[in-house]
């Protein structure tokens, strides 16, 4: 097992990356908020599969949390994260303090219009601006060849792909399939918030998405009544609220009446104090 | 004289830059809107002085012009520009069509807050967002070591410095002194709009800035009455309107009551159909 180098500053990150670059290697950045699970490990593996030296960042970014969200409670386990990264074959872990990422007021922000009007956008005002801006910063710090993100956060992935394309970054944004628990629940750092009874209920989310995908796949059914019935079923299964459960165009994320091309069923629902999101291809 | 390579696409630009990079050279980008004058030539020289291979872009960016501004009338002289760049020692000219810069809708925009509240900001809504976004795109296309901009557009320079810093771009933004005509008028592509009588009147702008700088330099005079008298003098000299004439902090661009540190006197005024801006250090 090759050793993991832990760096805390942009300067040290750039030095560590430059060493691999000067040896002719390509770089793959895996931005994370820590509390790593097998989904993150699959992103590191994705980088290795493409021949990139995997570099992971661990930073719980305050600017992408709303005032009533779980920034303070977000799980942190740095030592465990480093162990998982090293075991996965990651070579550099960049774990900056907030002051290294935001040494002064961040006056510059990146907005991706359109894509953020749908799904989580209206429920998390400012969230995608925070995500786009911090990911741009991380990309500029590491200057990788590729950045790896999970399809679990499908809207985030589309926003970041669009940002990289619109700003002509010489960086490819790679989306990797969602990793699931054996029973189908999408892996998420927030799953550890779930009480055992909630953990059972949570499975209804993935089941509901599959039921909708099956019902609308052939393009004959109108999506919204199907999705509404599935949302109702989530509430009956024990979810407290369903923020959205909807069928959207796979690229523009605009709601679809009928499926005619690549589409995604996506949902966000609350179970106790936990907000879960998931999505699947149609 | 070394030959100028003209490229029209991002791919060709990157290839041309990579050739110099692989020979171990550093790159200096000089973004322009064409209609080049000695001010632009000084930016190319600035790159040469720092050992960079000068790369100039020529692109009249539609997104930084307001609906009633001079996008259509903005002077264009590509053949003349290429000749001037080659004579100045520039090695690559990137002159894309609009579709190369904006192949689809530009959903992603960059906003620099605070700095754009002052000076030209309120008079040109959306202008600095357009500038920041297109300059980010050009920087990402060329990935230079340094980007060169004139102090003539002082607010633009500060906005771009802040953008590069806030987004952790591995690129230095270099400001170069304003180049002036022998009588003191700041060089500008828009000077060619001026009728001969207007050209004489225009000189009052630089004189006014100097009068204000002299009056407030020692920190004893309150800035705004001095600036107001100078604005009045511009109108008396023949300017049609004065959008602003003000003393600001050299970094935050916030208006100053008294000069206590690095400051700038800046003005924008209209003469017939021409909008002129200028600024000097206090």
pLDDT band at A252 (very low <50, low <70, confident <90, very high): very high
What residues of B are in the A interface, CB distance below 8 Å? Answer: 10, 14, 105-115, 132-133, 136-137, 140-141, 143, 162-163, 166-170
To the nearest whole angstrom, how far is the Cα of A12 from the nearest Cα of chain B?
14
Q: What is the pLDDT of residues B32-51, one digit of tens each?
A: 999 999 999 999 999 999 99
In which residue are the tokens 């225009």 written? Answer: B202
| Confidence at residue A274, expressed as pLDDT on a 0 to 100 scale | 95
Of B111, B140, B167, the CB nearest to A168: B140
Residues of B in contact with A254 (CB under 8 A): none
Q: Could you give the percent of chain B with pLDDT greater than 70?
A: 100
Q: Is the model's pLDDT at A174 over the cut of 90?
A: yes
CB contact under 8 A, A107 and B166: yes
**Cβ atoms within 10 Å, residue A18:** 12
Q: Do B110 and A109 touch (CB under 8 A)?
A: yes
**Cβ of A167 and B108 within 8 Å?**
yes
CATH of domain B5-176: 3.40.50.620
Q: What is the largest CA-CA distance in chain B?
A: 58
Residue among A20, A40, A118, A127 flagged as catalytic: A40
State the virtual CA torsion across B12, B13, B16, B22 in degrees, nearest 10.
-120
List CB contacts (< 8 A) between B132 and chain A. Answer: 108
User: What mean pLDDT is predicted for residues A140-145?
Assistant: 98
Per residue in A209-228, pLDDT tens? 999 999 999 999 999 999 99
Tokens of B55: 């790369």
Average pLDDT, chain B: 97
**Average of per-residue pLDDT across A110-118:** 96
Confidence of residue B1 (pLDDT cuts 50, 70, 90): confident
pLDDT at B249: 97
Tell me the pLDDT of chain A averaged across its residues.
97
Task: Determine the topology of domain B189-281 in CATH.
Answer: 3.30.1300
Mean pLDDT over A225-246 rounds to 98
- Rounded mean pLDDT, B95-102: 98
Residue A1, pLDDT > 80, answer no
CA distance B97 to B75: 16
Q: Which residues of B touch A147 (CB under 8 A)?
A: none
| Cross-chain Cβ contact B110/A110 below 8 Å | yes
Domain ranges across chain A: 5-176, 189-281
The tens digit of pLDDT for each residue in A58-69 reads 999 999 999 999
Q: Which residue of A has its CA nearest to B116?
A: A107
Asked whether the beta carbons of residue A115 and residue B107 sit closer than 8 angstroms, the reply is: yes
- Direct distance between the N- and C-terminal alpha carbons of chain B, in angstroms, rounded to an integer: 39
* Residue A168's pLDDT band (cuts 50, 70, 90): very high
Substitution target from B104, B158, B168 for chain A, most A beta carbons within 10 A: B168
Report the alpha-carbon distance of residue A266 to residue A257 in Å, rounded.
14
Name every chain B residue with its beta carbon within 8 A of the beta carbon of A133: 167
Partner residue facing A166 (CB), from B106, B113, B132: B106
> Nearest-CA distance from B238 to chain A in Å?
38
Q: Quick one: average pLDDT of B179-197? A: 96
Size of interface A-B (CB pairs under 8 A): 72
Smallest Cβ distance to B170: which of A108, A114, A140?
A140
Of B108, B132, B166, the CB nearest to A112: B108
Q: Could you tell me which chain A residue has the CA closest to the CA of B171?
A: A140
Per the listing, tokens 């900001």 go with B121
| Mean pLDDT for the stretch of residues B200-223 | 97
Dihedral angle computed from the Cα positions of residues B88, B92, B97 and B103, in that order, rounded to the nearest 10 degrees? -140
Which residues contact residue A232 at a Cβ distance below 8 angstroms, ignoring those fewer than 6 apart?
none
Cβ <8 Å between B162 and A107: yes
Residue A2 confidence (pLDDT): 87
Check A108 against B132: CB less than 8 A apart.
yes
pLDDT of B2: 86
- Structure tokens of B260? 């206590």
Residue A250: per-residue pLDDT: 97
Q: Which residue of B has its CA nearest to A171?
A: B140
pTM of the model: 0.97
**pLDDT one-digit tens code per residue, A3-38:** 999 999 999 999 999 999 999 999 999 999 999 999
User: From B106, which residue of chain A is nearest by alpha-carbon distance?
Assistant: A166
* Mean pLDDT (whole number) for B160-189: 98
């Amino acid at each position: 097992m090759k050793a993991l180098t832990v760096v805390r500053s942009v300067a040290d990150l750039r030095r560590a990356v430059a060493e691999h670059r000067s040896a002719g290697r390509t770089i793959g950045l895996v931005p994370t908020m820590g509390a790593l699970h097998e989904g993150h490990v699959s992103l590191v593996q994705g980088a290795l599969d493409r021949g990139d030296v995997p570099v992971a960042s661990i930073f719980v970014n305050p600017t992408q949390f709303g005032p009533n969200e779980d920034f303070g409670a977000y799980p942190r386990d740095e030592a465990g994260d480093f162990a998982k990264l090293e075991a996965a074959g990651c070579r550099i872990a960049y774990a900056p303090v907030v002051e290294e990422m935001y040494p002064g007021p961040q006056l510059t922000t990146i907005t991706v219009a359109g894509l953020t009007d749908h799904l989580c956008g209206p429920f998390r005002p400012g969230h995608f601006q925070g995500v786009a801006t911090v990911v741009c910063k991380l990309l500029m710090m590491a200057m990788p060849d590729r950045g790896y993100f999970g399809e679990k956060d499908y809207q985030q992935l589309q926003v970041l792909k669009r940002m990289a394309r619109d700003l002509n970054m010489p960086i490819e944004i790679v989306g990797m399939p969602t990793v699931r628990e054996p029973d189908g629940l999408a892996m998420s750092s927030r799953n550890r918030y779930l009480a055992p009874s909630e953990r059972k209920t949570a499975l209804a989310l993935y089941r509901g998405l599959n039921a909708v995908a099956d019902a609308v796949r052939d393009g004959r059914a109108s999506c919204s009544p199907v999705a509404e019935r599935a949302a109702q079923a989530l509430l009956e299964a024990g979810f407290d609220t369903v923020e959205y459960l909807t069928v959207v165009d796979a690229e523009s994320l605009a709601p679809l009446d009928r499926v005619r091309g690549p589409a995604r069923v996506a949902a966000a629902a609350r179970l106790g104090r936990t907000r879960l999101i998931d999505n699947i291809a149609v």
